[in-house]
Amino acid sequence: MSDKVELPKIASGLKGELEAGASLKPTESLEKNVLPSAEDLKQEKTHESILSGIEGFKSDGLKPTETKEKLVLPASEDIQAEKTHQGLIQGVEKFSADQLKSVKTREPQSPTAQIQVEQARGSSLAAVSGFDKSSLKKSETQEKNPLPPAEAIAQEMEHIKFKSGIEGFDKGSLSATKTVEKNSLPTPEIIAQEKSVN
């Protein structure tokens, strides 16, 4: 029969090692199950006593207390300020850029123009700092807006007092009077009598 199943072949190096046998070193086995230390036992006992204390706790020994809410509501001014702030934010968010006008940005000066401005400024400062004050002519200051003399000021004050006295006069302080007419007109009989005499 020619239907032989071909088995996988072992590499020659591995085959040599298998036939030669293994030479292993003898070793001692160590038990790695370490017992807990005294501190570990003490911590475990403390943990167990805490748990048992919690489980056996009686809530009957507690005093009744009232809960005070410490959350303070904001003042009306704070609320109003917050509303204003939110309104500003909403106004900025809803702002339409279509309403803006187009603006041309002014370009900064060229470096040469900046250098010229700096040189002119430097020469101006040098001219001011090196100016010789002794070459100036002396001049006398003449005051062209002199103050009025004391008599004119006193006269003006009297006028102001007189004017304020008239404007602030209290009519209620006047007493009521009756007018008596002392130049009486002649009666018609007297007039007729005078006409007849003339």
pLDDT digits (tens, 9 = 90+) for 2-49: 566 677 777 777 777 777 666 777 777 776 777 788 898 899 999 988
The pLDDT, as a whole number, for residue 43 is 92
Q: Distance between CA atoms of 131 and 135, rounded to whole angstroms?
A: 9
CB 72 within 8 A of CB 79: no
Identify the band that residue 198 occupies on the pLDDT scale cut at 50, 70 and 90: low
Name 82's Cβ contacts closer than 8 Å, sequence gap at least 6.
74
More confident call, 173 vs 108: 173
Max intra-chain CA distance, the chain = 201
Tell me the residue type at 88.
L
Alpha helices in the chain (DSSP H): 12-20, 38-55, 76-93, 111-129, 150-167, 188-197
Taking phi first (over 0 means left), then psi (-120 to 50 degrees means alpha), and beta for anything else, what does residue 62 get?
beta
